[in-house]
Amino acid sequence: MEHYKILKRGLAGLAALLVAFSLASCKKAPAAPQRIPAVPKLRVLFVGNSLTFVNDLPALTAGLAKARNSKMEYEMYAPGGYTLAQHSADAALLGKINEGNWNYVVLQEQSQIPAFPWAETQVFPFARKLSQTIRDANPGVKVAFYMTMARKNGDAQNGKYFPEVGTYAGMQKKLNEAYTRMALENQGVLVPVGEVWEKVREQDPALDLYGDEVHPNQAGTYLAACVFYAVLFADSPVGLPHPPQIGDYAAETIQKLAYEATKPAKPAL
């Protein structure tokens, strides 16, 4: 089962060193389009569970920012399997929120329950509660919702009762709808990792993004980091370095689809 990790600070520690080494030895993808100037420094609090801490998503995102001469200071509060309901009553997390001065606080729900009917009582009210708590303590903060990926082959066990979640496509559709709703209802920012994940699976089926049925492998975490970088820094991830075990074509596919999913829509003429 998932292990427990909390309150990871900055780029300190072994994981950050490994990320720095990985990015330093990365290959370069094709040159990026003209970029929007990045914010010099962001402070980001990541709140979630193993879908956030596996492969150290925050550190990898910070590494991508560093490659563009931007800085992301972060902390991570991600006990294994935690739900937003549990987070909303967790004194340690509330203390971190109340420290204030966060530019973004990222909320990530447990991997399954946003796709179920009981999300009405077990997800959306706690997304609202946390969003309000975050804003009360952090004037000007942006609350971001990390749209997660569906299980690799869907949720077969619960698919017996809710057929739509029994397949990857059906479960991803429900997750996309739930996270989009959370972002809209709470005037938040959507980080559409799940949408990009689905597009990569469609465009390059041979590219495996999973470490197991639920969690990302390094390519999957790199995908999530590219989407987070694009949203948090309003900049295209095209041309960013990538770990050497991710091929150039795969990295370019991930970067381009992340950019397409997050770039501002053109105004109607």
What are 117-132's pLDDT values in tens digits?
999 999 999 999 999 9
- What is the C-alpha separation between 212 and 217, in angstroms, rounded? 8
Q: Is 215 helix (H, G, I), strand (E, B) or coil?
A: coil
Does CATH number 3.40.50.1110 belong to domain 5-262? yes
Q: What is the mean pLDDT of residues 11-18?
A: 38
- 210-261 tens-digit pLDDT: 999 999 999 999 999 999 999 999 999 999 999 998 999 999 999 999 999 9
- What is the C-alpha separation between 180 and 113, in angstroms, rounded? 15
The domain segmentation of the chain, as residue ranges, is: 5-262
- Nearest in space to 237 (alpha carbons), one of 73, 23, 33: 33
* 36, 234 Cβ separation under 8 angstroms: yes
Eight-state DSSP code of residue 210: B
With both helix axes pointing from N to C terminus, report the angle between 57-67 and 218-233 in degrees, rounded to the nearest 10. 60
